[in-house]
């Protein structure tokens, strides 16, 4: 079954993939499956997002429903239909 | 007050507001667009999360240092050299807590608040790298 996930992308990821859009992924979905789908939108930009092993790069910060997802199991973190997944590079404010 | 805004702000007025008599010390930090040979800077934020994170940092500073007043205003949008980017105003009973609290807040902003800067020069543009890449 396909589910719809709402994406927010910022800074260089916004430039590569767009700022707000939806993706459809197979359920059960994970941070990895959602990011692989996002990556399909830009053949160049995907290199900033996914490494050669198919893992989400550590330099990509991920939020699911406005909460940071961190740790070794991050790529397997579950994503549900209607969730908002945000991706952004390391911050540089102040 | 915690605010992420497109609008210019009056730093002097905010500093004056902090002189209520409740606190014996007020320390402020003003971040300014530096002339690094740039024409302008675009500041972008995940605004909803940035305000939430700034509020969290304010609570941390209150809990850690016992400061009693914290205002943080961060600009977004197009800024020129000399423009104000961020203002932090920290009030406490005594100076030590105010200094420590203010430094803590700017360091935490650079670490975790979803804000990014893109610099535009005559030759093109570049994203400012984070200090915690």
pLDDT tens by residue, A75-93:
999 999 999 999 999 999 9
Q: Which residues of B touch A62 (CB under 8 A)?
A: none
Chain CA centroid to CA A37, Å: 8
pLDDT value, residue B90: 98
pLDDT averaged per 10 residues in sequence order, chain B, 133 residues = 96 93 95 94 97 98 98 98 97 97 98 97 94 75
pTM: predicted TM-score of the whole model, two decimal places: 0.94
pLDDT exceeds cutoff 80 at A8 = yes
CB B29 within 8 A of CB B73: no
- Residue range A1-7: average pLDDT? 97
Q: Inter-chain contact B130–A92, Cβ cutoff 8 Å?
A: yes
pLDDT value, residue B133: 67
CATH number of the domain to which A18 belongs: 3.10.20.30
pLDDT value, residue B131: 82
Quick one: what percent of chain B has pLDDT higher than 70?
99
pLDDT value, residue B6: 97
pLDDT value, residue B132: 75
**CB nearest B46 (choices: A12, A88, A92):** A88
Residue A94 lies in a domain: no
Q: How many Å lie between the alpha carbon of B36 and the closest alpha carbon of chain A? A: 16
Q: Is A58 on the interface with B (CB under 8 A)?
A: no
Alpha-carbon distance A88 to B127, whole Å? 12
pLDDT value, residue B30: 97
Residue A93 lies in a domain: no
Q: Inter-chain contact B133–A90, Cβ cutoff 8 Å?
A: yes
Residue A32 zone, left/alpha/beta (φ > 0; ψ -120 to 50; rest)? alpha
Per-residue three-class SS string for B91-104: EECCHHHHHHHHHH
Residue B132 lies in a domain: no
Residue A67 lies in a domain: yes
Q: Inter-chain contact A91–B110, Cβ cutoff 8 Å?
A: yes
CB B100 within 8 A of CB B88: no
Work out the burial of residue A24: count CB atoms within 10 Å of its CB; fewer than 13 is exposed, 13-18 middle, 19 or more buried. Answer: exposed
Residue B128 lies in a domain: no
Residue A13 lies in a domain: yes
Residue B131 lies in a domain: no
Domains in chain B, number: 1
Alpha-carbon distance B68 to B58, whole Å? 10
Q: How many Å lie between the alpha carbon of B29 and the closest alpha carbon of chain A? A: 10
CB B106 within 8 A of CB B58: no
How many helices, marked H, and strands, marked E, lie in chain B?
3, 8
User: Which domain does B41 fall in, by range?
Assistant: 2-123
Structure tokens at B68: 């009693």
Per-residue pLDDT reduced to its tens digit, A10-52: 999 999 999 999 999 999 999 999 999 999 999 888 898 999 9
User: Which domain does A52 fall in, by range?
Assistant: 2-88
Domains in chain A, number: 1
Nearest chain A alpha carbon to B47:
A10
Residue B81 lies in a domain: yes
Chain CA centroid to CA B103, Å: 11
Q: How many Å lie between the alpha carbon of A91 and the closest alpha carbon of chain B? A: 5
Per-residue pLDDT reduced to its tens digit, B45-68: 999 999 999 999 999 999 999 999
């Amino acid at each position: 079954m396909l589910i719809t996930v709402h994406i927010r992308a910022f800074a260089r990821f916004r430039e590569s993939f767009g700022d707000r859009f939806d993706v459809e992924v197979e359920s059960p979905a994970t941070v990895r499956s959602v990011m692989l789908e996002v990556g399909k939108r830009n053949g160049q930009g995907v290199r900033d997002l996914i490494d050669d092993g198919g893992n989400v790069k550590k330099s990509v910060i991920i939020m699911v429903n406005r909460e940071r997802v961190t740790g070794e199991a991050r790529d397997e973190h579950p994503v549900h239909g209607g969730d908002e997944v945000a991706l952004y590079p390391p911050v540089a404010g102040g | 007050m915690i605010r992420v805004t497109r609008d210019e702000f009056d730093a002097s007025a905010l500093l004056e507001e902090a002189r209520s008599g409740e606190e014996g010390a007020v320390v402020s930090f003003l971040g300014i667009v530096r002339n690094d040979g740039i024409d302008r800077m675009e500041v972008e934020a995940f605004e909803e999360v940035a305000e939430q994170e700034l509020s969290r940092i304010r609570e941390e500073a209150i809990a850690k240092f016992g400061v009693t007043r914290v205002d943080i205003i961060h600009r977004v949008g197009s800024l020129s050299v000399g423009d104000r980017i961020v203002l932090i105003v920290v009030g406490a009973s005594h100076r030590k807590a105010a200094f420590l609290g203010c430094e803590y807040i700017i360091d935490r902003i650079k670490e975790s608040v979803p804000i990014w800067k893109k610099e535009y020069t005559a030759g093109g543009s570049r994203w400012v790298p984070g200090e915690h890449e």
